[in-house]
Structures are given as structure tokens and as C-alpha cells.
Copies of this chain bind each other. A is one copy, B any other.
Amino acid sequence: MSDFPELKNDLFLRALKGETVTRPPVWMMRQAGRYLPEYMELRKKYTFFERVETPELAAEITIQPIDIVGPDAAILFSDILVIPQAMDFKVTMNPGEGPRLPKPITTPEQALALTVPDVEDRLHYIIEAVTLTRKELNGRVPLIGFAGAPWTIFCYLIEGRGSKDFSLAKRFYYEHPEAAKHVLSVITETTIRYLQAKIKAGSQAIQVFDSWSGLLSPEDFNEIAFPYLKKISESITEVPVILFAKGSWYALEGLMQRTNASALSVDWTISPEYARQATGNNITLQGNFDPSRLLTPIPELKRMVTRMIDRFGKDKYIVNLGHGILPHIPVAHAKAFVEAVKEYESK
């Protein structure tokens, strides 16, 4: 990858290594998205899949927040459901209804028939988007690649859509554990190949999102979610890995001790003090501003960001939200969030 431009802002990578910094780096989950008017312009012209599957568009959307909001890392514009697509599931994304898999898995036979696809072939457009984005970023900030965690992808494969409780996915696991484990293993292997291809193409860090892990009891998390997160994290040795098991406050210690993650992302129900205590201050933490708190009037918002950094501590820390940015956040508030972090070093 020696032909990529030299990295000018390495704050994010240094925080992932646990190095001492003058201020923590900052980025926002879903920072390339619907709160930006520039994104909404592209949304009028191109469908969701055109935006994801056209490397030039994905690169442009990825870089928009870097220009407009100024975070210290970029994250490739894409979607976690590209993995089901690579596995031959049709995915629809119609306005106003959220993602749908019209033909989800309903029988153990269907589950056992799944095989690992040729990811580099099926998702070549994302691999190309990574390299193009990395070049176009021109070394301004590092580029993160991401994937959904196996349990979260499994939920979509079984339910075919989002759910309040994912009880169908859980039932499938409880009633057909061997078939379910096969599905989870195929997702895991597909994801590993996908992430390795993204790294080869230029991703400088990886984040794995287990958006639905918080719906599992600690015992079910340990059985259904954890082993696959561990396997993915251990298969990636070239770049740092950030694991985000949303809602699984009880899993922080295990994720630190028993995976090779470089950082753990935490949601806003976890206090900085609890997160530091559960991990013995031995790992970089990322988070955890309540996405709704970006609606707070700006002066108070900035004071809250400062307090959050004080509580996590400036080192081994990446400022982020506790989940993705919401569509109705004013851009000025997103900017204020990032500015508050950049102003931190002067305090």
C-alpha cells in the first residue's frame, strides 16, 4: 500500500495504540449520512444501492463529513447488509420502510445449505471504493472499514427485517442450534474475508458493529455473539479492530480480556467510570455521547463533551457518539461536537 498518500493526522491511530495525545481524536458513527444536506442531494439522484455500489459515489459520501464537519477519521459509506447480499440474499431498501430481506431463512435445511461466497468477486465494488476513498482522502485522516457482527447479521437473515425483540431469530437458535451455528459460522468466515479484502485495499482500522447484542442475556451473548466476535477480531492482525457490542454493558471485561480488540466502543447507558473500571483502564474506549444529546443547545452541548473527555480521560480514548448520528441533527450541532473536542487541548 506504499502508493497511498502519507497520513497527516494520525491521532485516531495513536489513540488506538494507547499513545499519549494532546487531545483525543473524534469521529461519529454514521457521520456520512442523512443529517448532511450534501448527502441528501445525492440521495435525490441515486438509489441506496447506486450510492453503495458506485465507488465514486461511496468515496464522495465518505469524504463529505471530513470536509464539512472535520472529524479525525473517515468511515467508508456502506451498509452491514452487503454481507447477506454477498451470500445471495436479496436485500431491498425502499424509502420509509427500512431494509428488508424478502426471502429470509425459515428452515434448518435452508440454513445448512449456506456456503461462504467469493467475497472479493461479489463485493468488488466496495473493495474498489476503499482504494479510491483512501486515495482521495489524500492522507487527511485514516479510513475505517466496518462490518456487522455475526449475531446482528443472523437476526436479519432469519427475521428479514428489524424487530423490537428478534424473537424469531432467537427461537431459530433455540430450536435449531446446529443449523444456527452453521449460519453464524458462514457469516463469520464471509465477514473475515470481506474485512481482509478491505484491509488489503486500504482500510486502516476496522470496526465491527453488534447492533443487536444488547437484546441477548449475558449467557446468550456468551454463546451466540461472543465466539464469532472473538474469531473475527483474532483473524485481523494487520490493523486495529474496534468492537461495538451495543447494549452489552456486561460484556466489556470479557471483550477486553478474551479478544484481541484494540478498542471497545460503548453506548451512552455506560458511564465512563463504569467502562474504565470494567476494563481496568487497559484498553482504548470509544464513545459514548447520547445521539439525542446532540439536540442540546450548543453551549451546553460543548460543555457536556468537555465533561465527557474529563471523565474518560484524554488518553486511550476516542470521542464518538454512543450510536449512529440521527437524521434530524442540525449540522451546526454535529460541528460543535467535533469543535468541542478540538478545543479540548487548549483547556
A interface residues with partner B (beta carbon < 8 Å): 165-167, 170-171, 174-175, 214, 216-218, 220, 247-250, 268-271, 274, 290-293, 295-297, 300, 322, 326, 328
Contact = CB atoms under 8 A, between A and B. Distances in A.
A292 B170 contact: yes
Contact of A295 (B170, B247, B290): B170
Contacts of A269: 214, 216-218, 247-250
Contact of A291 (B167, B291, B326): B167
Given A268-B217, A269-B218, A167 B326 contact: yes
Contacts of A268: 217
Nearest to A251: B269
A155 B240 CA distance: 39
Interface centre among A214, A290, A297, A322 (most CB of B within 10 A): A290
Given A217-B268, A218-B269, A220-B290, 16 more contacts: A165-B291, A165-B326, A167-B291, A167-B328, A170-B292, A170-B295, A174-B292, A174-B293, A174-B295, A174-B297, A216-B269, A216-B290, A217-B269, A217-B290, A218-B271, A249-B249
B220 A297 contact: no
Closest 3 CB pairs of A and B: A167-B292, A171-B295, A170-B292
29 contacts: A165-B291, A165-B292, A165-B326, A166-B292, A167-B291, A170-B290, A170-B292, A170-B293, A171-B292, A171-B295, A174-B292, A174-B293, A174-B296, A174-B300, A175-B295, A175-B297, A214-B269, A216-B269, A216-B290, A217-B268, A218-B269, A218-B271, A220-B290, A247-B269, A249-B250, A249-B269, A250-B270, A250-B271, A250-B274
Contacts of A216: 269, 290
A253 to B, nearest CB: 12
A277 B166 CA distance: 29
A34 to B, nearest CB: 13
Contacts of A248: 269
A249 B251 CA distance: 13
Nearest to A274: B250
Nearest to A171: B295
A295 B180 CA distance: 15
A216 B322 CA distance: 11
A168 to B, nearest CB: 9
